[in-house]
A and B are shown apart, each in its own frame.
Chain A
Amino acid sequence: MAEKTLKNIEEQFEMFQILNEEGKIVNKDALPDLSDEELQELMRRMVYTRIWDQRAISLNRQGRLGFYAPVAGQEASMLGSQFSLDKEDWILPGYRDIPQMVWHGMSLHQAFLFSRGHFKGGQMAEGLNLVMPQIIIGAQIIQTAGVALGLKRRGKDNVAITYTGDGGASQGDFYEGMNFAGAYKAPAIFVVQNNYFAISVPVEEQSAAKTIAQKAVAAGINGIQVDGMDVLAVYAATKEARKNALEGTPTLIETLTYRYGPHTMAGDDPTRYRTSELDSEWEKKDPIVRFRKYLESKKLWSEEEENKVVEKAKEEIKAAIKETDEVAPQKVTDLIGNMFEELPVNLQQQMDEYKEKESK
């Protein structure tokens, strides 16, 4: 009996796909209602982000960037979901989710400041509903339930969306976040980008569950597993999740994807835990390649168009790095000043000490 229940549940979580690896529509009924311009914009963003990733990796290697977690391979998962959001929706990202933040309105310059470890990297522009990329895996997930409840109590027509990885789905905060959001019928969307590895640990070792999506069942919220290399499927699933969230049912979206690069640029060596066969299997599913094929078949994309995006990305990145280089280095007094609204006595004393030190 109990065994049958589990089996039944597992069988229901099949991967949702619209565009296959060849760039062909395999699920016509689910095709989202996107204009030609919107389809082109999605492609532009993915191409731009791929170039940005390549530049970020090489800037890091030259010692000019700082902390960076590569994103190539995950563009559809990241950008397809963000594309379905309203400008005023809240994003609570993890350390890898910088592209969603940038396409939600944060400047590249600020993303670079975050990478370098400068407090200005966290100073969100007024009206941008973004929280700083979370380093503590899982912390953002339960906070999302709080933001979602806040939005609901304020009577907003907005949702809170959060991102984590397959590893993050093992944290207690993940279960608590879904459970709280469900209990309060709060407008939340939980995205788990399952790239099959948490640094070196394969997803099979994280849990006995066959899918991450099925974990929604226990929380009493919607759950769906999506082809994370298919930007149309990710977009459609998130769009629907957004609608349901506003009606009181949160959704857990598991996107199946892959990070081509190392975990971060701080010494991870993927050859210790992944095979090149697996890498090339995933490269065949590439989100940009299949979407390009699709758009070309609709005469919506060309090499020229793509080159234009590449050039634009390179120029903007160059300018953003230049702008970042010009930011004054942090002083200890800056850090002290950001600790409290009113400095307590110990910090006041230290402020004076460091002011003197810094004036020398």
Chain B
Amino acid sequence: MAQMTMIQAITDAMRTELKNDENVLVFGEDVGKNGGVFRATEGLQDEFGEERVFDTPLAESGIGGLSIGLGLTGFRPVMEIQFFGFVFETMDAVVGQMARMRYRSGGHYNMPVTIRSPFGGGVKTPELHADSLEGLIAQSPGVRVVIPSTPYDAKGLLISSIRNNDPVVFLEHMKLYRSFREEVPEEEYTIDLDKADVKREGKDVTLIAYGAMVHTSLKAAEELSEEGIEAEVIDLRTISPIDIETILESVKKTNRAVVVQEAQKMAGIAASVAAAITDEAILHLEAPVLRVTAPDTVFPFAAAEDVWLPNETDVKERVKAVINF
């Protein structure tokens, strides 16, 4: 075992799959020689050569289209969108084309593409770098959306995503890249896609989150514990599809739920989770399912991030509201 940051675990996952399968190709803007602007692909070009790990011209729609073509010819592309705010440039390739390839060809073709991309607030990037746009992809049929919150999960989930024969958008929260290390096995392992994980057990309320908000929720849970409230924290890990079973099991025990997302409120993942809970477990609920989200504005200018992003206080407030309902 080694101590790894999330970014190291991500590099390790790509290295593992580049070794395992000669069809795996890793490419994007600055991913080759430079090793990526966050160093996620550091050393991979040296190790596997320029034919397997390479820079592309500066065009996201080109990168998406290239992946489709390479996918059609039997390769397993791991493409990077340098920041997820640039996904708009390649929205057609991702949700208009890749996500529909299997369907359109009646199952003849498949798209084993992994789209890696950093996102998430708290690091004061310029506009259209940090936006939580996962909901746009989650609304599109035919593509999975995976968002790890720990180094261990990141490695196992990325390996599973690369091996998966359908497109996966794999989003990496920038704030988590180097915020902590944990034990990550050096050998290969996978983590099932479409499966949530209980990150903390508790009996009074269920907090459901993903990405950096898992840590915000865990912190809130620790603080609530001092006040005698025990929160269970579920990390969705895959946000499309949503693992409703794990959520229901928890909610049937706690009878209360708060869903936490960094994204704006309108039409988000939290709304889907809340709806799924009321669909299936309304008679188990002692209070309405509440949401913690950002307000419905454009992602804020850097200097306003701190006041805009949801935080522990927001989570605790909502938890108390469902407890005292």
A→B interface (CB under 8 Å): 66-67, 95, 116-119, 121, 135-138, 167-168, 170-172, 198-201, 205-207, 266-268, 272-273, 329-332, 334-336, 338-339, 346-347, 350, 353-354
**Does chain A have a CB within 8 A of B1?**
no
Interface string of B18-61 (1 = CB under 8 A from A): 00000000000110111101000000000000000001011101
Q: Do B57 and A207 touch across chains, with their CB atoms under 8 A apart?
A: yes
Which residues does chain B contribute within 8 Å of A338, judged by CB atoms?
Answer: 297
CA distance A67 to B296 in the complex (A): 25
Q: How many residues of B contact A (CB 8 A)?
A: 37
Q: How far is the CB of A62 from chain B (nearest CB, A)?
A: 15
Known: A199-B30, A347-B295. Is A136-B300 also a contact (CB below 8 A)?
Answer: no
**Does chain A have a CB within 8 A of B194?**
no
Known: A135-B126, A136-B86. Is A336-B301 also a contact (CB below 8 A)?
Answer: no
Q: Do B297 and A200 touch across chains, with their CB atoms under 8 A apart?
A: no
CA distance A329 to B302 in the complex (A): 11
- Among residues of B, the one whose C-beta sits closest to the C-beta of A199 is B30
CA distance A200 to B265 in the complex (A): 37
CA distance A22 to B6 in the complex (A): 52
**Does chain A have a CB within 8 A of B283?**
no
Which residues does chain A contribute within 8 Å of B305, judged by CB atoms?
Answer: 117
Which residues does chain A contribute within 8 Å of B2, judged by CB atoms?
Answer: none
Pick the contact of A354 from B57, B89, B295, B303 — CB < 8 Å?
B295
**Does chain A have a CB within 8 A of B66?**
no
Q: Do B34 and A200 touch across chains, with their CB atoms under 8 A apart?
A: yes
**Does chain A have a CB within 8 A of B91?**
no
Q: Do B297 and A199 touch across chains, with their CB atoms under 8 A apart?
A: no
Q: Name the 6 nearest CB pairs between A and B, nearest first.
A: A117-B302, A200-B34, A167-B58, A170-B57, A330-B304, A117-B301
**Does chain A have a CB within 8 A of B109?**
no
- Of B57, B124, B125, B129, most buried by chain A (CB within 10 Å of CB) is B57
Q: Do A117 and B304 touch across chains, with their CB atoms under 8 A apart?
A: yes
Known: A67-B302, A331-B307. Is A350-B30 also a contact (CB below 8 A)?
Answer: no
**Does chain A have a CB within 8 A of B135?**
no
Q: Do A332 and B307 touch across chains, with their CB atoms under 8 A apart?
A: yes
Which residues does chain A contribute within 8 Å of B89, judged by CB atoms?
Answer: 136, 138, 171
Q: Do B128 and A66 touch across chains, with their CB atoms under 8 A apart?
A: no
Which residues does chain B contribute within 8 Å of A339, judged by CB atoms?
Answer: 296-298
Pick the contact of A118 from B32, B126, B303 — CB < 8 Å?
B303
